[in-house]
Amino acid sequence: MMDEIQKRTSPLRIFLCHSSGDKPEVRNLYQRLSSDGFDPWLDEENLLAGQDWELEIEEAVQTSDIVIVCLSHKAITKAGYVQKEINDALKVAEKEPEGTIFLIPLKLEECNVPKRLQRWHWINLFEEKGYGRLISSLRFRAGTITSGSNPKTNMIQRPEEKMETEISAYHTNSIGMKFTLIPVGEFMMGSEEFKWSRPVHSVKIQTSFYLGIYQVTQREWKAIMGNNPSEFNGNDLPVESISWNEVQDFIKKLNEKEGTNKHRLPTEAEWEYAARAGTTTRYSFGDDDSKLGEYAWYSENSGDKTHPVGKKGANPWGLYDVHGNVWEWVQDPWHDTYNGAPADGSAW
């Protein structure tokens, strides 16, 4: 149902901004990123004898797809060229379209994030899942860079073909619904925990799409349908007490209002792929049940009612309430098992 967004064939170019005192840690990061198929730039690896190193570094920052600012006590307290590199990266970041992932502060150890970098969400590389979170962000960025098409508006939206090199990471439609770009990729769908989620099987999402960042709110439902069937009332609460057929009517009217046919429900595979966001743990934040309250409204903290969307933690791809609050409708009908499920992420 969606036009394909062409995948970029060259590796993601990554500039590693760092203090010389952190060279061993950054060298190890360089090697890990190279092994994972990226194209990191490190002075000792990429500079040739006789080159003007200041010009080469400045050009490397300018031509990179993403800049990782490696932070440590040495990096944030030392005067010198590392501070110029950070300033150069900030200048480029300010020119990027809103929502573009370009600059990632990466803490090599527990330290303060300089004020000028605090507007960007940082990653703690020293934590157990820190590198995995970094890879998720890099793959997301790679998924937004194509060889010549740009999705316009996607509940889900189909990309429009345009001769542009960048895809916006976010989109907001005419009634204020916010969407984020979900990149192509492959994942293991299902779980051995329940019979209806078996067998675990490989699914390849071959087309990028936009997915709503939040569950559809009652304000958005009323803007299209003119009514509110929800048991719990509040503009920022998720709409509930609605049937699948009513959702199809909502989608039809939303498409008419937008003058398009792009909106639809995600398939079950697309929804799980986006909810997992590159993770393989029980939850998108890990396996620790004690952290569930940080990411979800559920039986123990909800007070038996729904809550405004987006008040708990997001998953690694910036989607809220993928755990808890209300259940989500998907395009597929119910199946007792995954035996015979399609491997391409299409509706079954």
Report d(CA 157, CA 174) in Å as an integer: 14
Is 98 part of a structural domain of the chain? yes
Report d(CA 215, CA 321) in Å as an integer: 7
Nearest-5° Cα angle at 316, 154 to 313: 100
On whether both 263 and 186 belong to a single domain, the answer is yes
pLDDT for position 344: 94
On whether both 112 and 184 belong to a single domain, the answer is no
CATH number of the structural domain spanning residue 245: 3.90.1580.10
Question: In this structure, what are the phi and psi dihedrals at residue 68, rounded to the nearest 5 degrees?
Answer: -100, 120
Residue 235's region, left for phi above 0, alpha for psi from -120 to 50, else beta, is alpha
Domain housing 30? 13-143
Is 336 part of a structural domain of the chain? no
Report the chain (348 residues): mean pLDDT per 10 consecutive residues: 40 89 90 86 85 84 90 81 80 79 92 88 87 87 58 43 50 90 91 93 92 96 97 96 97 94 95 92 90 94 96 89 96 95 95
On whether both 188 and 104 belong to a single domain, the answer is no
pLDDT for position 96: 79
What contacts 8, CB < 8 A, 6 or more positions away?
142, 145, 146, 147
pLDDT for position 10: 65
> How far is C-alpha 83 from the chain's CA centre?
29
Rg (CA), the chain: 22
Is 125 part of a structural domain of the chain? yes
pLDDT for position 167: 56
pLDDT for position 4: 36
